[in-house]
Amino acid sequence: MEPDSSPALRAFLEALGTGCDFCQVQVRPLPPSFELRHVTDRGRPSEELRPVRVTDLRVLAQTTESGAYRALKAAPNLVSGWCCVAGSGNELEVALGHLYPGALADWAAVRKVAAAVPVTHFREFMGRQTGIYRGVRHLDEAGAAAVIGATCHPRFCLKRRWWTVDGLAPDDPGATSELPCLEPCAVLLDGARQATRGV
């Protein structure tokens, strides 16, 4: 492990063992490197997969197989058929950051001291919106549930929701991936804005 490794990376490498899944990506140690591939390509010979560089992963994560833009990087439609080798732990952190921005730090935060994780709940998040988003604070219970169902359901996003609203409990462990969602995202905010247009 590099001496300048981040605490999040150190936690990840300690937990990695012979390999693990990080949302839709399988990570395997190939000392001193690490191999990343889509979980559906598990077990396939590397020669069958398209080699991509760490620096290519940001672009790879931006579109679906059909070329549609992926507004949610944790959406369950990461393209498959590729293989990437990160030459070091620090490169692995960069690779995961391209695929799932910010997710490694959040993953490490909830692993370490789950009780102390700073979670921003729905009403708090919506209550501080201004400008064109100002109306979202008026979204009622049913409206909030509808927007959350249409945005955060595992069909659309694989992050596990830690925040709550009006009695809607956090997602159960195992319901989605281990990537935590610690506050509503921009896509959800936009859904809330559309639901409250004219309010």
Instruction: Using CB under 6 A, list all residues that contact ligand SF4.
Output: 72, 74, 151-152, 157, 159, 161, 181, 184-185, 187-188
Tell me whether residue 26 or residue 151 sits nearer to ligand SF4 (CB atom). 151
Rounded least distance, CB 148 to ligand SF4, Å: 7
- The answer to whether the CB of 22 falls within 8 A of the CB of 100 is yes
Q: Furthest-apart CA pair in the chain: how many Å? A: 57
Residue found by looking up tokens 């896509």 in the block: 187
Tell me whether residue 30 or residue 71 sits nearer to ligand SF4 (CB atom). 71
Tell me whether residue 72 or residue 94 sits nearer to ligand SF4 (CB atom). 72
Rounded least distance, CB 10 to ligand SF4, Å: 25
Rounded least distance, CB 59 to ligand SF4, Å: 21
114-151 CB burial, b ≥16 within 10 A, e <16: eeeeebebbeebbeebeeebebbbebeeebbeebbeeb
| Angle, CA of 53, 58 and 59, to the nearest 5° | 90
Q: Tell me the backbone φ, ψ of residue 167, rounded to 5 degrees.
A: 85, -5
Distance CA 54, CA 23 (A): 17
Q: Strand 180-181 vs strand 160-161: parallel, antiparallel, or unpaired?
A: parallel
Tell me whether residue 41 or residue 183 sits nearer to ligand SF4 (CB atom). 183
Tell me whether residue 104 or residue 152 sits nearer to ligand SF4 (CB atom). 152
Rounded least distance, CB 72 to ligand SF4, Å: 6
Rounded least distance, CB 67 to ligand SF4, Å: 21
